[in-house]
Amino acid sequence: MEDKKLPIPSTDYVYRQIPESFIKFDNGKYIPKSSNFKPDPDGLSVNWSRMISLEDTYILIGLSYRHKKEEYKDHRQFKVFKFNVGFLRSISGIESVEHNPVINGNPAPVGKPNNYSHSLVMYQDDELIRKTLSTHIRDNQEDTYCLFEANSLNERLEELRQRLNDTPYHRA
């Protein structure tokens, strides 16, 4: 694994993981709160689907520590949605979608696995953009919601966690 940044074609997709506590279930649809799309100063964190499977997205969640805690995230408490990169680039105010791998070491520390698929959607915090992303998911659920049985990974994740940082996810 290397940290080389690659161009992301507009035909590709990026995954956005969202904690269930930021999602409303209404009329059979998962609708993320627009606040979930508030970007960090460097952009909105996503994973490039060409570089990572949906299963590996959930594994990375489960191998990552919660914010400011030495406690693993519960992968079962997340839903994953996908956005077409061309759609994102077409939204007024979105400056770019860029591949931005996160390589934390070789091996990476426990709780901070490497993520070669990591990418950023770059924009200034804008309520209209956040609402546009949330509404897009609501109105295009069949194309955006990534159905995955997270419980299918419970045993595998426990085995990987027992290996600490001696996993393929921690090696560059």
Range 38-46 average pLDDT: 97
Q: What pLDDT, on the 0 to 100 scale, is given for residue 2?
A: 54
Q: What is the pLDDT of residues 152-163, one digit of tens each?
A: 999 999 999 999
Q: How confident is the model at residue 31 (pLDDT cuts 50, 70, 90)?
A: very high
Cis ω for the linkage preceding 109 (within 30 of 0): no
Q: What is the 3-state secondary structure of 4-17?
A: CCCCCCCCCEEEEE
Range 80-105 average pLDDT: 98
Q: What is the pLDDT of residues 73-85, one digit of tens each?
A: 999 999 999 999 9
pTM, rounded to two decimals: 0.95
- Could you tell me which residues come within 8 angstroms of residue 111 by beta carbon, excluding any fewer than 6 positions away? 63, 64, 65, 70, 72
Does 90 score more than 60 pLDDT? yes
Range 78-95 average pLDDT: 98
Domain assignments of the chain as residue spans, ordered by start = 13-162
Range 14-27 average pLDDT: 96
Q: How confident is the model at residue 41 (pLDDT cuts 50, 70, 90)?
A: very high
